[in-house]
Amino acid sequence: MKTIAQKNDLYRQTFIGCRVNITHALNASPKKEDVITAVRSFNAFTPQNDPHGEHDCAFFDVDGETFFFKFDYYDDNYEFHQEDGNRVLTIGFASDY
């Protein structure tokens, strides 16, 4: 059985098995593809930026600007939080957070 971190890594790297939301500001940015590539290849998790070891959120820089990704977990109707439920990955500028 895969851990939450292993699931999050797989979904983040492939975008398969989760919904992906990109903020409006990032969607309009010429850096969009570079940021998506950075999200998919991110592996700089540490106890300081990932205290629960779930690989579910991070802030990172691309070309001198800070961006984020984060997972939220939902029930089957995507209405309420559910621990280790259906995942929604949101990606955007740090200022969108």
For 93, the token pair is 């500028």
Q: Is-contact 93 65, C-beta < 8 A?
A: yes
pLDDT, tens only, 67-82: 999 999 999 999 999 9
> Using CA atoms, how far apart are residues 23 and 31, in angstroms rounded to an integer?
13
Position of tokens 């969009």? Answer: 32
Beta-carbon neighbour count of residue 29 at 10 Å?
A: 18
Q: Quick one: pLDDT at residue 33? A: 98
For residues 97 and 86, give the distance between their C-alpha atoms in angstroms, rounded to a whole number. 21
pLDDT reading at 2 higher than 90: no
Q: How far apart are CA 87 and CA 25, in angstroms?
A: 22
> How would you classify residue 8: left for phi > 0, otherwise alpha for psi between -120 and 50, otherwise beta?
alpha
Q: pTM for this structure?
A: 0.93
